[in-house]
Structure 1
Amino acid sequence: MDLQDQLKNLFPDHDFKEEAEENNEEGIWMQEEPLLCKYVKRKGKPVTIIEGYTGADDDFKKLAKEIKVTLSVGGSFKNDQIIIQGDYRDKIIDILKEKGFKTKRVGG
């Protein structure tokens, strides 16, 4: 008897449905214009900024979290921009191209 069968025995009235995966990339809005990947310095420290997304904020936040986890870096989502600590333009552009986004490298 596996865990699913045990749960069905404990809760016979509950309808167990197959849960969809949380990392569903089909839900992310693809766009025509490329995302801009900029390099700037703020208070003397390098920062990579991704902007130009026209879809929903929740999708952009999900994308920001995925980039931060993949690169193991800090960052935030503010004012329709993803702000990543450090100069990771090349790696971010590769990640975005794998997901099907068009990107444009801006700055140095």
Structure 2
Amino acid sequence: MDLQDQLKNLFPDHVAEETETNQNVSDDLWLQDDPILCKYEKRKGKPITILEGYTGAAEDFKALAKELKKKLSVGGSFKDDKIIIQGDYRDKIMQILEDKGFAVKRVGG
């Protein structure tokens, strides 16, 4: 007996709402014509990948940052309209963004 069956036994009058738990973030992101710039830098001797140049809403860019960090299983942040990802993941990030429909340009090294 799984959890849903147990809940139905405890609360027979309750009507469960259908919720979408696996919501795709890219469905509501604004795709722009100008490419997103993907840079590589070293700060305090550690590599980081920086994404900048998104012209849509800041909330969309934050959601994109969260999704990238989750897919790559790395840390990072969103500051000053830039996504900062810990480590050199330019190739993987560019592939993920291209799959979503974004134009990406590799800058530097």
TM range (shorter): 0.7 to 0.9
Query: Which consecutive residues of structure 1, in runs of 5 or more, have no partner in the other structure?
Result: none
The aligned counterpart of 2:64 is: 63
Query: Which consecutive residues of structure 2, in runs of 5 or more, have no partner in the other structure?
Result: none
Which whole-Å deviations, capped at 9, do the CAs of 1:30-53 have from their partners, x for residues lacking one?
Answer: 000000000011111111000011
Give the letter aligned to residue 43 of structure 2.
Answer: R
- Pairing of 1:93-104 with structure 2 (within 5 A): 93-104=94-105
Flag the 1:101–1:8 CA change in 2: closer, same or farther, 3 A: farther
Q: CA deviation at 1:17?
A: 5.5
For 2:18 and 2:61, locate their aligned partners in 1 and report how far apart those are by CA, in whole Å. 26
Which whole-Å deviations, capped at 9, do the CAs of 1:61-108 have from their partners, x for residues lacking one?
Answer: 111111111111110111110000011101100000000000000011
Q: TM-score, normalised by structure 2?
A: 0.82
- Is contact 2:25–2:64 with CA below 8 Å preserved after alignment? no
Pair 1:19-2:22 in alignment: no
Q: TM-score, normalised by structure 1?
A: 0.82
Identity %: 61
The aligned counterpart of 1:10 is: 13
